Amino acid sequence: MPGLLIIAHAPLATALRDCASHVYAGCPQKLLAFDVAPDAPVDDAATAALALLRDAASDGSALLLVDVFGATPSNIAQRLAERASDLKLKIVAGVNLPMLLRAVCYQNESLDALAARATAGAIQGVMQVAINPPQQQTLRGPSHAAALNSGQQ
């Protein structure tokens, strides 16, 4: 099973892992996080993250989830992949909670499939959310408002 390693500006990586732990009531298997301190040199951070990557990729593969393409965490992920060329790795950028939850759900799939699931999950999770106009609720009366409230909790 591919491992999952989140690499992001501090403290985003840990925060995302914590959120996955909330949703799944306990930390999912092989989900690790590496927070990148502001102005951390890429090579030093890659050295520090290498043991974590090898832990995540104990089965030989891992998906690296980074926050922004081109920023230091993304560069660290690329440096890690160069150094750990014996592992099968993929990197996806733009991690959000929908991406992470999708990746955890499909972690038993192949690395290629998992990377595709993660990117699709992230994009599908981005949307504008409708706001119910208050006058509409008033017009429909209290029974509708009660149903709406119970459905939203």
Site residues for a second copy per CB under 8 A: 8-12, 14-16, 18-19, 22-23, 38, 41-42, 66-69, 71-72, 74-75, 77-79, 81-82, 85, 89-99, 101, 115, 119, 122-123, 125-134, 137, 152-153
Give whichever of 42 and 50 is closer to a second copy, judged by the CB atom. 42
Give whichever of 1 and 9 is closer to a second copy, judged by the CB atom. 9
What's the closest the beta carbon of residue 153 comes to a second copy, in angstroms?
5
Q: Which DSSP string corresponds to 40-88?
A: --HHHHHHHHHHHHHHHTTTSEEEEEESSTTSHHHHHHHHHHHHTTTSE
Distance of CA 94 to the CA centre of its chain: 8
What's the closest the beta carbon of residue 107 comes to a second copy, in angstroms?
17
Which is it for the CA torsion 54, 90, 25, 13, positive or negative? positive
What's the closest the beta carbon of residue 108 comes to a second copy, in angstroms?
20
Give whichever of 41 and 60 is closer to a second copy, judged by the CB atom. 41
* Amino acid in position 9: H
How many Å apart are CA 79 and CA 85, to the nearest integer?
A: 10
